[in-house]
Amino acid sequence: MIETDPSACLATSPGPEVPRVSSMELIGPELQRFEKLLSSGGDERIAIDAAAGRNRYGTPRGMACGETWFSSSTASAISARGYAGAAQAYCSIDGGRRPRALPAWFDSIRSRLASLFGVAGSEIVLSASGTELELIALFLAQSIFRWPLTNLVVAPAETGSGVLLAASGRHFLGSSPFDPGAVRGAPINGMEIPETLVDTIDIRDQSGSARSADQIDEEIVRKVEAGIADDRCVLVHLLDCSKTNLGGLRRSTAARLVERYNGRVLVVVDCCQLRCSPAQIQADLRAGFMVMISGSKFAAGPPFAGAMLLPWQIVDQVGVLSLPPGLLGYTAADDWPVALHNKIDRQFAISRNMGTGLRWEAALAELERLFALPAQFREAVATVFSSAVEHCVRENSRLRLIDREPSNGLPTSRTIFPIVSAAHDGTPVASDAIHRALRLPLSSGAASQASTRAFHVGQPVFVGNQSALRVCLSASHIVDVADNMAGQKVFEAAFVPLRSDLDNLFLKWARVTDDICQN
């Protein structure tokens, strides 16, 4: 139930003007250079396949016109707003051809992020992706602690496939942004500290059901106590939102651990889905927690863009930073704020990562519009979206929504909906086949929007022994509804295009499932 009229909320807060770039400013070779930079400075995950013209997430270098994206738990194509914001930044720095202007540009990106999420004394380190942030968190913990370290990771299966390798200081792919010769699983030069251990905590039981917040907290506390008793320090992960909209470790429990074991426990909050409020991130920083965010999930910027927000307590504890040589393949000089850059005693191999900067510009174009909108309006869109998805699932007896009820202590505001599909006899239908088919025109049937349009949803993820696809709300959806209301539409009418996209998605989902079952 929406208690406040969204139209009244929005009337007093139109938000900043959307940046615009004339199509004449970027044409021919300059346009190609801009789009090439937009997908540069990452690893093999965002490499553009020459034949398909897309990366492994299905996103192209530029905009994907005529396609519908409900896939922000994995990745989204750049929006028109994001594209305009990145293009405007590209033009303002002359495509990176003025090197002296680039450090100030990266500082401005950090400043804008700080305006949204930061608190007094906090600093921000940029990165190519969220997984790289695991390396940054590990490096900072190793720099602060003088004791053997346990890295306690919550639900690695629901965060990222390379998280456990990164958390142990190993290469998580066969390439890195600045080192194409990385060997997956090999120790990163300088981070191979034998005393560092990695341990994990699951947020689901073996059947795939969500564990209670009490169960998760109690296991984490036991493992922290065991680590301290073994003369170790502990880096504790707090998962704000997983690939399936679950969380792990309550903030109150994390705060008690830090207070109880002052100087022996650090907390890093995984907010890479970025599905919490700026106020929550600010509260985490005030509590002394490090916070990892990404501009390429809920923020709907193109993959990849990561940032580590550091509270003043961490900045003050850091002395000389002896950057491991192998970490130079993952981080550039301008990724680091002056306060920390001045403490680094090693020469960087790369000065700047233009791709990271442009992708953050795209994400900020959405985030600054989003958070200029009243919180009641944002919640209203999320509530109506949730109801629409749940209605579509109920209308199809062959679909089932996982985690119908929020678990105790875990996120109650749903923006990720994991869904499993079944044949008429109840046998599971392969999610990867449905995922591929949703992006292709149907081979038969009427030439309707549902049949011909490409629909993108979150990649398959295993929940217990079931494989689920994920339908996701993103920042761009909420801003689109606000823009529709700026055209003098009432809230219900402004939401109609988004509801129509959902209806067409689920209509195609049903037809695709029929086709797969018949073959």
The 3-state secondary structure of 143-162 reads HHCCCCEEEEEECHHHCCCC
Query: Cα–Cα distances in Å, from 398 out to 261, 392, 393, 438?
Result: 50, 11, 8, 16
Q: Residue 146 — very low, low, confident or very high, per pLDDT cuts 50/70/90?
A: confident
Q: What is the pLDDT of residue 12?
A: 41
> CA-to-CA distance for 299 and 172, rounded, in angstroms?
24
Indicate the average pLDDT of the chain: 90
pLDDT (mean) for 318-322: 91
pLDDT at 444: 64
**CATH classification of 101-366 is 1.20.1600.10, yes or no?**
no
Q: What is the pLDDT of residue 195?
A: 83
Does residue 401 have a pLDDT over 90? yes
Question: 66: left (phi > 0), else alpha (psi -120 to 50), else beta?
Answer: left
Q: Calculate the alpha carbon distances from 283 to 140, 247, 292 in Å.
A: 21, 17, 14
Region 375-518: CATH code: 3.90.1150
Distance in angstroms (rounded) separating the CA atoms of residues 127 and 137: 12
Q: 383-392 contacts: CB < 8 A, separation 24 or more?
A: 383/2, 384/2, 384/495, 384/499, 385/415, 385/473, 385/477, 385/498, 385/502, 386/414, 386/415, 386/417, 386/473, 388/498, 388/499, 388/502, 389/417, 389/471, 389/502, 390/417, 392/502, 392/503, 392/505, 392/506
Instruction: Give the mean model confidence (pLDDT) for residues 148-159.
Output: 93
- Taking 60 as the threshold, does the pLDDT of residue 19 lie above it? no
Kindly report which listed range (94-98, 109-113, 323-327, 467-471) carries the lowest average pLDDT score. 94-98
- Is the pLDDT score of 402 beyond 70? yes
State residue 95's pLDDT score.
85
pLDDT tens digits along 189-216: 999 888 889 999 999 999 999 999 999 9
pLDDT at 16: 47
pLDDT at residue 305, as a whole number: 94
Token pair of 284, please? Answer: 């985490």
CB 77 within 8 A of CB 54: no
CA distance linking residue 144 with residue 83, whole number of Å: 39
For the chain, percent of residues with pLDDT exceeding 90: 75
The mean pLDDT value for 403-410 works out to 58
Please write the tens of the pLDDT for every residue from 25-43.
777 899 999 999 999 998 8
List, for residues 347-391, the tens digit of each pLDDT value: 999 999 999 999 999 999 999 999 999 999 999 999 999 999 999
What per-residue confidence (pLDDT) applies to 442?
A: 84
What is the band of 518 on the pLDDT scale with cuts at 50, 70, 90? confident
At 223 the pLDDT is: 98
At residue 322, the pLDDT reads 92
Is the confidence at residue 14, as pLDDT, over 50? no
Whether residue 445 has pLDDT greater than 70: no
Residue type for position 388: A
Other beta carbons within 10 angstroms of residue 36's beta carbon come to: 13
Give the mean pLDDT of 488-493.
Answer: 89
Residue, of 518 and 39, whose pLDDT is higher? 39
Q: So what's the pLDDT on residue 26?
A: 78
Share of the chain above pLDDT 70, in %: 92
Mean pLDDT of 74-84: 94
Confidence of residue 18 (pLDDT cuts 50, 70, 90): very low
More confident: 116 or 101: 116
Q: Rounded to whole angstroms, how far apart are CA atoms 382 and 373? A: 13
- What digits encode the pLDDT tens for the residues 412-422? 578 999 999 99
pLDDT at 2 over 80: no
Q: Where are the domains of the chain?
A: 101-366, 375-518
Per-residue pLDDT at 24:
41
